[in-house]
Amino acid sequence: MCTKIAGVTEVESRADRKERTRRALLDAALELAEESSLTGVSLRQMAKEAGIVPTAFYRHFGSLDDVGLALVDESFVSLRAMLREVRRPGAADGAGEIVDRSLRILLDHVHRHRAHFAFIARERAAGPPVVREAIRHEIELCEHELATDLARLPGTQQWSTDDLHVLAGLLVSTVVATAEEILAARPEQETRLLATARRRLLMVFVGAFNWRSS
Amino acid sequence: MCTKIAGVTEVESRADRKERTRRALLDAALELAEESSLTGVSLRQMAKEAGIVPTAFYRHFGSLDDVGLALVDESFVSLRAMLREVRRPGAADGAGEIVDRSLRILLDHVHRHRAHFAFIARERAAGPPVVREAIRHEIELCEHELATDLARLPGTQQWSTDDLHVLAGLLVSTVVATAEEILAARPEQETRLLATARRRLLMVFVGAFNWRSS
DNA sequence: CCTTTCAGTGCACAACTGTTCACTGACACG
DNA sequence: CGTGTCAGTGAACAGTTGTGCACTGAAAGG
C-alpha cells in the first residue's frame, strides 16, 4: 500500500482508481438523465461518458436501479446537510426572519447542488419504481423530522401530533414546489420568485399561528 | 358519404376509422408511459399496442412529442371540467364546506381520469422538454384563473393582485401535492389521506383569513 | 363507372440496446 | 520475486430502435 511518493502528488491506489471511475459513472448518469429521466439513460451511454467499455459497468453496479439508488442516497446526504443548517440556531426570531433565512439557504443549496435537486425532482415522479419509492420514503422521513422539530417551537406545545404533521406536510410540499420553481426559472426571475415564495410561507405560518383559535 | 345503412349500426366512415386508431395510439401511449415516462415509450411499442404496423404511426403523428402534446391537451380538458365543477355554486358556504366539496370532486376526478392525472404528474417533471413546458404553461393558466376567481370571494376585495396570486399558488401546489398522494396511495389509506389534505387546506384558509391583520 | 385519395402494409437498413464470455495486465500482497 | 486479484478490454450475441420506400386495397368523389 505504498501510497506516498517523493513528489507532491500521491500515487493513486487501486481502490482510489476504482472509486474515481465509480464517480465518473454517477456523474455521467446525473448528466445524461438531465434530459428525460434515468429510465432514458442507457448503460452504454453512461459507460462511454465515463470513459470505460460497456461491460466494465458491471464491476461497479449490478443494474441501472443500483445507480439510481446510489444517486438518491448522495442527494439526500446533501439535502439533510441543508436541513441541519436551517435548524441550527435554536432561539426563534420572528417568523419573517426564519422564513428569509431558510429561503436563502434553500436557494444557495439548489444552486450548489442543482444536478442533485433536479434529479430527485424528476425521478420522484418518473424514474424506475424502486427509485421512486426510495425518494418517497426519504421525503416522508424529512417530513417526520420537521414535525418533531416544529413541536419544539414556542406556541405548538399543546398541538396534537396529527396537526404537527399537517403543518409539516404543508411546509414540505410548499418548499418542494419552490425548489422546482427555482430549478425551472431563469436567473432574472429569481428575485421575484423568492418574494412570492416568502409570502406563501408566511401565509402558512399565519395559518398555523391562528390554528385552533377559530 | 353514405353513412347510414338499413340496419341498426352505422357504417364507419373513413374519417371515423382514422379517429379510432388515433385514439388507440393515444391510449397505448397513456398506458405504456405508466411505467417510467413518455420518453421511455417507443414508437414501435405504441404501434403494436394499437394494432398497426410501426410505419403507419406517421399517418397520425409527426413525432412522439406530438403525441405528448395531444395528451396534455386532452388531460387539461378534463381538468378544466373539474375546475368548472368546483366553481359552480356561486354563493359561499363556510370554508369547511368549500374544502370538503372540492376534495370530493378532486378525488372523484382523479379516480375517473387516473391515467390522465398520472400522465401530467409524471411528464411535468420528466418527459420531453416540449411537453414539460406545455404542462407548466397550463398549470400557470389554472393558477391565474383561480386567482381571478378568488378575487370574487368575500373578504378579498381589498387584496393586492400579488397577494391573490400568492394564495392561488399556495392552493395549486397543495392540490397538486394532494393529487399526487392520491395517485400513490393504496385505497385503504385514502380516507386518512383526505382528512390530512382537508386540514392542510383549512390551515391555508385560516392563514388567508388572517392575512394583513398582523 | 372510373379515378383519386390515403390508412395501413412489408421489407429493408443502419444504429443502438443489455449481457455473455474469455482475455489482459497492472497493482498489492505474501 | 512470484502469484493472485480484479478493473477494464473486445468480440460476439440476439433484440429492439426510428425511418425510408414502394406497395395495396377499400372508401370517397366526380
Task: Kindly state the average pLDDT of the residues B158-181.
Answer: 97
Q: Which chain C positions come under 7 Å from a protein C-beta?
A: 6-12, 16-22, 27-29
Residue closest to B177 by CA, chosen among A128, A136, A117, A174 = A174
Closest nt to B20 (CA→C1')? C7
Confidence (pLDDT) at B13: 87
Residues of B with Cβ-Cβ distance to A127 under 8 angstroms: 36, 126
Secondary structure string (H, E, C) spanning chain B: CCCCCCCCCCCCCHHHHHHHHHHHHHHHHHHHCCCCCHHHCCHHHHHHHHCCCHHHHHHCCCCHHHHHHHHHHHHHHHHHHHHHHHHCCCCCCCHHHHHHHHHHHHHHHHHHCHHHHHHHHHHCCCCCHHHHHHHHHHHHHHHHHHHHHHHCCCCCCCCCHHHHHHHHHHHHHHHHHHHHHHHHCCHHHHHHHHHHHHHHHHHHHHHHHCCCCC
pLDDT band with cut points at 50, 70 and 90 for residue A3: very low
pLDDT band with cut points at 50, 70 and 90 for residue B145: very high
Confidence (pLDDT) at B151: 94
**Of the candidates A37, A122, A207, which has its C-beta nearest B206's C-beta?**
A207
Residues whose CB is below 7 A of strand C: A 1-2, 11, 13-14, 42-45, 54-55, 58, 63-64; B 14, 17-18, 21, 52-56, 59-60
pLDDT over 60 (residue B3):
no
- pLDDT digit string (tens) for A91-120? 667 889 999 999 999 999 999 999 999 999
For nucleotide D8, the protein residue with its alpha carbon nearest to C1' is A56
Residue closest to B37 by CA, chosen among B29, B47, B25, B26 = B29
Closest nt to B43 (CA→C1')? D18
Task: Return the residue matching grid coordinates 446510489.
Answer: A70
Protein CA at B56 to nucleotide C1' at D22, angstroms:
14
Measure in Å the smallest separation between the Cα of A39 and chain B Cα atoms.
6
Residue closest to A88 by CA, chosen among A173, A156, A149, A171 = A149
